[in-house]
């Protein structure tokens, strides 16, 4: 087998194929296959590359018939050579070995497309996307091309048009997706999925009135369609009609309790209405039904930050980072809440983590530089015995007691930032009130002839 491979004239074509030849001479079949697959990635339609990949893959499979990588390689080479049905059989073998492997489903999509089965190819690419969203670009492009063929073959098929529009939308081609999707409800006015997608595309292009009509048509046809109710909620929320938005979102989660995005947006509306405990409950429900939903953790953290509940905010942002470490917004939010407490080393570390994820984001670099400057200033101020204070001025002791009660219940401390001050420079009553306060703690109500005051130590 190896002698036949080495005698074949295809070797010597390109760096990867020369490397594959070297590995074959040394009997390193796995390494030879890896080199051939690398060559295929750069030239998938090159007949020499495809023929070599098929030969090396078969050599590996001769030694190990259950090598999934060799089956992927065999399928790719066969597709390049136009042996489509044989490629489909190789993909089926690979999927039996690794049914959850996104790469195997993408290869199956390629093979079915090659074999003239665009509908089957679309289904395979969509399974690949669900299995591994990180491979979305390749799967979406395959899905788009297969859907293009299906729509060309059946121009009056609303299902084919809807799937084509969905693929185009996934690639960010919103105008093209809208043009394709527009025809689907016309071809089938009772196509609920097409109406919901059309509404989403219209909303994304800033046409909420038309989007609302599409969503309401879908909800009329299918009152239990959570996506249509969610779309209605989004339109109402965007128009500032919060009660109507709450009603729509609550209907959506009643129909589909595990709809994480609907729980999140319900929380967002409650927050905008000042109904903070209900917002916290909605975000918590989103996390319960979808524990990896990073938006829920971040929005919960933002709400806690606004309410001055910093430790709970830090916990929420930490969960967001654990759910999705590559999302820079979570690291940024964590840095902001640390900075608000004057915890400069932790803030700096958070912004550095954000920059590792998104090194070209100027906002993150600016935030890091600001924190570094503030940290240096704080070190100099502490060296002189200064503390950073925030002061609330009140009209009565009862008002002061009310503020303390709200802060202890989790409300934000609202007041004037005094910056860094020396306690000795303050009124003796103020100095006594802040004596012994730790960072984040609040004084009692201080009564003077000028009014009533409450202090919070920030640093």
The 10s digit of each residue's pLDDT in 239-258 is 999 999 999 999 999 999 99
The 10s digit of each residue's pLDDT in 136-156 is 788 999 999 999 999 999 999
What percentage of the chain carries pLDDT values higher than 90? 54
Domains for the chain: give ranges and CATH numbers.
387-457 (3.10.50.40)
| Phi, psi dihedral angles at 104 (to 5 degrees) | -65, -40
pLDDT at 113 over 50: yes
pLDDT at 10 over 50: no
Q: What's the DSSP call for residue 442?
A: B
Pairwise pLDDT comparison (409 vs 96), residue with the higher score: 96
- Under 8 Å CB-to-CB from 358, ≥6 apart: which residues? 328, 364
- Ramachandran quadrant class, 334 (left: phi over 0; alpha: psi -120 to 50; beta: rest): alpha
Say what the pLDDT of residue 7 is.
41
Q: Answer whether 20's CB lies under 8 Å from 56's CB.
A: yes
Cα–Cα distance for residue pair 87/90, rounded to 1 Å: 5
pLDDT at 2 over 90: no
The 10s digit of each residue's pLDDT in 213-234 is 999 999 999 999 999 999 999 9
Which structure tokens are listed for 284?
């918590």
DSSP tally for the chain: helices H, then strands E: 24, 4
pLDDT at 4 over 60: no
Q: What is the mean pLDDT of residues 263-285?
A: 96
Q: What is the mean pLDDT of residues 19-47?
A: 82
Say what the pLDDT of residue 333 is.
94
Flag whether the pTM goes above 0.85.
no
The owner of tokens 């390689």 is 73
Helix (H) or strand (E) holding 211: helix 208-221
Which structure tokens are listed for 319?
């969960």
User: What b-and-e string marks burial along 257-284, b requiring 16 or more CB atoms within 10 Å of the CB?
Assistant: eebbbbbbbbbbbbbeeebbebbbebbe
Dihedral (CA of 263, 268, 272, 275) sign: positive
Q: Answer whether 182's CB lies under 8 Å from 165's CB.
A: no
Q: Which of 412, 135, 403, 97 lies closest to 110 in space, CA to CA?
A: 135
Compute CA distances 90 → 110, 234, 360, whole Å. 12, 45, 42
Least confident of 73-77, 280-284, 289-293, 296-300: 73-77
Which structure tokens are listed for 271?
């927050």
Q: Answer whether 357's CB lies under 8 Å from 327's CB.
A: yes
The 10s digit of each residue's pLDDT in 188-218 is 999 999 999 999 999 999 999 999 999 999 9
Quick one: 445 exposed, middle or buried, by C-beta within 10 A (0-12, 13-18, 19+)?
buried
Q: What is the mean pLDDT of residues 158-172?
A: 93
Q: Hey, how many other C-beta atoms are within 10 angstroms of the C-beta on 345?
A: 10
The 10s digit of each residue's pLDDT in 37-91 is 888 888 888 888 888 888 888 888 888 888 888 888 888 889 989 999 999 999 8
Q: What is the mean pLDDT of residues 322-336?
A: 94
User: What b-and-e string marks burial along 362-393, b requiring 16 or more CB atoms within 10 Å of the CB?
Assistant: eebeebbeebeebbeebeebeeeebbbbbbbe
Cα–Cα distance for residue pair 83/425, rounded to 1 Å: 87
Q: Mean pLDDT across the chain, nearest whole number?
A: 88
pLDDT at 313 over 60: yes
pLDDT at 1 over 50: no
Which structure tokens are listed for 10?
């295809």
Cα–Cα distance for residue pair 311/440, rounded to 1 Å: 10
Cα–Cα distance for residue pair 407/45, rounded to 1 Å: 67
Q: For Cα atoms 410, 279, 441, give the angle at the middle one, nearest 5 degrees.
A: 15
Say what the pLDDT of residue 67 is.
87
pLDDT at 184 over 80: yes
């Amino acid at each position: 087998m190896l002698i036949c491979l080495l005698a074949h004239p295809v070797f010597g074509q390109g760096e990867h194929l020369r490397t594959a030849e070297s590995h074959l001479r040394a009997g390193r079949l796995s390494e030879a296959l890896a080199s051939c697959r690398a060559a295929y990635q750069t030239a998938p339609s090159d007949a020499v590359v495809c023929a070599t990949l098929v030969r090396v893959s078969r050599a590996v499979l001769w030694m190990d018939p259950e090598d999934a990588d060799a089956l992927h390689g065999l399928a790719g080479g066969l597709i390049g050579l136009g042996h489509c049905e044989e490629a489909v059989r190789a993909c089926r073998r690979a999927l039996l070995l690794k049914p959850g492997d996104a790469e195997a489903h993408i290869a199956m999509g390629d093979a079915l497309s090659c074999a003239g089965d665009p509908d089957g190819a679309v289904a395979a690419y969509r399974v690949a996307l669900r299995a591994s969203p990180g491979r979305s670009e390749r799967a979406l492009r395959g899905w788009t091309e297969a859907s293009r063929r299906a729509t060309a073959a059946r121009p009056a098929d609303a299902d084919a048009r809807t799937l084509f529009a969905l693929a185009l939308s996934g690639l960010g081609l919103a105008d093209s997706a809208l043009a394709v999707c527009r025809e689907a409800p016309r071809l089938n006015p009772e196509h609920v999925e097409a109406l919901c997608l059309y509404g989403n595309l219209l909303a994304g292009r800033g046409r909420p009135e038309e989007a609302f009509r599409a969503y309401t048509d879908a909800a009329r046809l299918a009152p239990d369609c959570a996506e249509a109710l969610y779309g209605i909620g989004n339109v109402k929320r965007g128009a500032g009609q919060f009660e109507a938005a709450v009603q729509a979102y609550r209907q959506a989660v009643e129909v589909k309790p595990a709809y994480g995005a609907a729980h999140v947006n319900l929380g967002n509306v409650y927050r905008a209405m000042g109904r903070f405990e209900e917002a916290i409950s909605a975000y918590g429900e989103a996390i319960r039904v979808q524990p990896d939903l990073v938006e829920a953790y971040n929005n919960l953290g933002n709400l806690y930050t606004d309410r001055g509940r910093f430790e709970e905010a830090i916990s929420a942002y930490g969960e967001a980072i654990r759910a999705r470490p590559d999302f820079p917004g979570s690291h940024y939010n964590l840095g902001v809440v640390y900075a608000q407490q004057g915890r400069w080393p932790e803030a700096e570390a958070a912004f550095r983590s954000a920059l590792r994820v998104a090194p070209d984001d100027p906002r993150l670099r600016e935030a890091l530089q600001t924190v570094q400057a503030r940290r240096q200033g704080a070190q100099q101020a502490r060296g002189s015995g200064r503390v950073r204070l925030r002061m609330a001025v009140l009209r009565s002791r009862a008002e002061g007691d009310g503020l303390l009660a709200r802060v202890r219940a989790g409300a934000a401390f609202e007041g004037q930032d005094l910056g860094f001050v020396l306690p000795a420079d303050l009124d003796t009553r103020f100095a006594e009130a802040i004596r012994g306060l730790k960072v984040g703690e609040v004084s009692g109500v201080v009564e003077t002839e000028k009014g009533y005051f409450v202090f919070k130590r920030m640093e």
